[in-house]
């Protein structure tokens, strides 16, 4: 059975303006790979209703799982819940379960559950809440879309809440061979070995740093014995 | 006149598997913002022909400029040139101008211009070459799509080659107000000021680190005097 697939949607002007460097994509990629879910596509879109709706619909149709980050806070530019609801034709309003979580949290911390904070209890009908152990305001899951916060510490915590609910596949294993030799000299042998073992995926990732250049040859698959064999064949083909 | 828009397409399994953390998006975002081109969307797709073709067509239709990174090296998994050619129905083959650049470079460095390296001279008909001062193998531009390398040092150099050819807009300026106060307490005043000045864009980017939490309130626009006025209004509305 092929492994389940996933896409991520990063919602945030601050990434696109170059103000903030996204960290959530890299984190989610590693977590999904480890449980055998193949992250196949990531999109970053601005805080624009139609863009979010369109991306959610497109990704939701194409992949097993979708994960979003950003835009679920209390300010006027936090429009993700409404856009995701609209993508599925679900009504979005303050929901009692989410409101109760926030009320208990702010009662404890002594902050007021004002109108802005109540925005964080706006959850589409039919969605399941995603636990937020850092700052309480929940994410949610609707259809195959998991809506999570953009702040990395909260995003990571929500990912931990979600992972046990996903059906993974065979873990995606990889082996890397670092070769300090021009990629053009590695390409021929690498291509031959890749053609011999079509059930594995072979990639070449060149580097050029401090005057040293070469490539990391990476083999990916779900069977460690086959990966080991591929590494032997690569070393042989490259006279290493 | 509204500013020109842009999208980026990152091509690379290594980003999606979590092996490599992308750096090119953040670099390009900053460079474009500085010359008044609004980066509106980024997509990261795997090294799969159909995915690249589909993304190039969709982004090319939607935005003024498209920039791609990755997949133009000499190895079997470098399929970007063919996919971008296919997206525009352009024939892709070894082109004499690109071949001559590579031949001169490898003659100088003493490496062989073998079949693998010749792949890097595969350029779609009708495309213009993009200068690569780091390692010679060129990028190219076809229609509104700029195809560049994935290795950050080369990507950055190609961006420098391309920037003078773009028509920018009014530089996008921004001012930031860091407030160590719960976002829920900032949201009301922030929303009021944002509604007062609809020609500016107001964002709130919460942080939570080392026990300190708050938000960076960012105002963006093209008129410095208006940004200054917005900052005054924010400080006033927040009693700062």
Cβ of A72 under 8 Å from any chain B Cβ?
A: no
Cβ of B165 under 8 Å from any chain A Cβ?
A: no
Contacting residues of A for B76, CB less than 8 Å apart:
187, 190-191, 194-195, 202
CB neighbours (10 Å) of residue A56?
28
Residue A186 confidence (pLDDT) above 70: yes
Burial (CB < 10 A; 0-12, 13-18, 19+), residue B41, is buried
Q: How far apart are CA B118 and CA A56, in angstroms?
A: 40
- Per-residue pLDDT, A211: 80
CA distance to partner chain A, nearest, from residue B123 (Å)? 17
| Partner-chain residue, chosen from B18, B185, B187, that has the shortest CB–CB distance to A26 | B18
**B140 φ, ψ to 5°?**
-155, 160
Residues 110-139 of B with CB under 8 A from A: 111-112, 114-117, 119-120, 134-135
Q: Which residues pair with B39 in a beta bridge?
A: B6
**B208 φ, ψ to 5°?**
-155, 100
Contact flag B183-A74 (C-beta cutoff 8 Å): yes
**Token pair of B6, please?**
């842009």
- The alpha helices in chain B, defined as continuous H runs, are 13-16, 24-34, 49-62, 80-87, 96-109, 115-118, 152-162, 183-196, 224-237
ipTM above 0.90, yes or no: yes
Q: How far apart are CA A72 and CA A47, in angstroms?
A: 11
Over pLDDT 90: what percentage of chain B? 90
Cβ of B169 under 8 Å from any chain A Cβ?
A: no
Average pLDDT over residues B196-220: 91
- Per-residue pLDDT, A233: 97
Contact flag B116-A202 (C-beta cutoff 8 Å): no
Averaged confidence pLDDT in chain A: 95
Instruction: Provide the pLDDT confidence category of residue A209 given band limits of 50, 70 and 90.
Output: confident
Instruction: Provide the pLDDT confidence category of residue B1 given band limits of 50, 70 and 90.
Output: low
Residue B88 confidence (pLDDT) above 90: yes
- Burial A135-153, CB ≥16 within 10 A → b, else e: bbbbbbbbbbbbbbbbbbe
First-last CA distance in chain A: 35
- Per-residue pLDDT, A1: 65
Instruction: Provide the pLDDT confidence category of residue B3 given band limits of 50, 70 and 90.
Output: confident
Rg (CA), chain A: 22
pLDDT in tens, A106-134: 999 888 999 999 999 999 999 999 999 99
C-alpha torsion sign, points A83, A87, A93, A99: negative
Contact flag A14-B207 (C-beta cutoff 8 Å): no
């Amino acid at each position: 059975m092929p492994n389940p697939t996933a896409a991520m949607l990063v919602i945030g002007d601050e990434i696109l303006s170059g103000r903030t460097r996204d960290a959530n994509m890299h984190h989610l990629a590693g977590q999904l790979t480890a449980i055998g879910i193949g992250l196949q596509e990531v999109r970053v879109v601005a805080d624009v209703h139609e863009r979010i709706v369109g991306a959610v619909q497109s990704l939701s149709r194409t992949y097993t799982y979708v994960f979003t980050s950003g835009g679920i806070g209390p300010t006027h530019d936090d429009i993700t819940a409404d856009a995701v609801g609209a993508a599925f034709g679900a009504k979005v309003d303050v929901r009692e379960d989410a409101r109760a979580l926030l009320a208990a949290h702010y009662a404890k911390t002594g902050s007021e559950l004002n109108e802005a904070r109540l925005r964080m209890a706006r959850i589409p009908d039919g969605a399941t809440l995603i636990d937020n152990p850092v700052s309480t305001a929940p994410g949610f899951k609707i259809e195959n879309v998991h809506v999570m916060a953009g702040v990395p510490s909260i995003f990571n915590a929500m990912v931990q809440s979600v992972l046990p609910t996903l059906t993974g596949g065979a873990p995606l294993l990889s082996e890397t061979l670092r070769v300090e030799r021009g990629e053009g000299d590695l390409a021929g042998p690498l291509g031959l070995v890749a053609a011999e073992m079509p059930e594995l995926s072979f990639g070449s990732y060149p580097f050029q740093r401090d005057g040293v250049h070469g490539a990391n040859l990476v083999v990916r698959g779900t069977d460690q014995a086959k990966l080991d064999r591929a590494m032997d064949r690569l070393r042989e083909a490259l006279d290493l």
